Amino acid sequence: MKAIRFSCLNFINKPVDQEELNNTLEKMAEKAPAPQADEQVKHLLELIRGNTVAPATIGIILPKGVIEFVEVNDIVHMTADQTICRIKLKDNKKLTSAKHLGYYIELLADNEEFAQSSKSHLINLDHIKQYDHRERTIRFEDGDHLIASFRFSKDLKKSLLDRQKGGGFMDKLSRYFKS
């Protein structure tokens, strides 16, 4: 099921909910076979054969059924905006997903590069330049800033410290925390 979600294909769980079935069929009927369908199937097969826990690419569901495949490592952060999600990539490209942030939180839950910094932000720890735990400010390599919520700040600090295990601890640690 996770591989299917990463490839942006749909599925229906048993027992079948009639409303969910109708909605899925309506969506499929609206869509003509798209050139991206082959790409989705290829992506799904790669995920099934390989690592579905932390795949290298993810399908971002854009408005009007368009799906853009991006490298997971290129995602800097994701921000909830009501029922949609705004995604910032490392090349400063911004995507607006038709899916909500919760969808991506669930999808990337097993990926240790990602952590929630607040109810409305999912961040890629690899792109953090500095984290000030007292002020709860997160500064990214591209200059963007976010504020971690009080609720998520302790877990964020723990995630950053846990990533430092294994060589060069002090050098890596100084990368994240304000002196």
The enclosing H or E element of 161 equals helix 150-162
Model pLDDT, residue 50: 53
User: Which of the residues in the chain have pLDDT under 70?
Assistant: 1-14, 16, 18, 21-22, 24-55, 166-179
Total-model pTM? 0.66
Return the DSSP state at 122: E
The predicted pLDDT at position 151 comes to 95
Question: From CA 63, how far away is CA 24, in angstroms rounded?
Answer: 16
Partners of 114 in beta bridges? 124
147-173 pLDDT, tens per residue?
999 999 999 999 999 887 744 444 444
Helix, strand, or coil here: 96?
A: strand
Encoded tokens for 101 = 């942030």
For 2, other C-beta atoms within 10 Å of its C-beta total 14
Which of 120, 116, 117 lies closest to 100, judged by CA? 120
* Residue 85 CB-density burial (10 A; 0-12 exposed, 13-18 middle, 19+ buried): buried
